[in-house]
Structure 1
Amino acid sequence: MKNLEINAKLQIAKPRNEVFDAIIDPEKMSNYFISPGADKMEEGKSVIWGFPEFPDMKIDVKILKLKIPELIIFEWEGSKDRDLEVKIELEERPNNQTLVKLTEGKMEPNEEGITWLGRNTEGWANFLACMKAYLEFGINLREGGFDFMKKPE
Structure 2
Amino acid sequence: MSVGFRVSGRIGRPVAEVFDAVVNPAKLSGYFTTLGGASAPLVAGTTVTWWKAVPVEVDEVVPDKRIVLRWDGGGEEGARYKTLIEIGFEPLADGGTFVTIAESGWRDDPQGRKSSYANCEGWSQMLSCMKAYVEYGINLREGFYPSEMRGELPTSETK
The TM-score, its normalising length taken from structure 1, stands at 0.88
Partner of 1:17: 16
* 1:79 shift after superposition: 2.3
Percent identity of the aligned residues?
A: 30
- Equivalent residue pairs, number: 146
- Alpha-carbon displacement from aligned partner over 1:48-81 (angstroms, at most 9, x marks no partner): 111xxxxxx6111111000011100011113242
* TM-score of the aligned structures, taking structure 2 as reference length: 0.85
Contact 1:31 1:140 in 2 (8 A): yes
Give 1 or 2: higher strand fraction: 1
Partner of 2:7: 8
Cα deviation for residue 43 of structure 1 reads 0.9
Shift of 1:128: 0.6
Gaps spanning 5+ residues in structure 1: where? 51-56
Whether 2:146 is the aligned partner of 1:147: answer: yes
In the alignment, which residue of structure 2 is the partner of 1:40? 41
Q: 1:58 aligns with which of 40, 53, 58?
A: 53
SS at 1:63 equivalent? strand
Runs of 4+ residues over 3 Å off in structure 1: 148-153
CA RMSD of aligned residues (A): 1.9
From 67, 72, 75, the counterpart of 1:77: 72
d(CA) in 1 for partners of 2:24, 2:151: 32
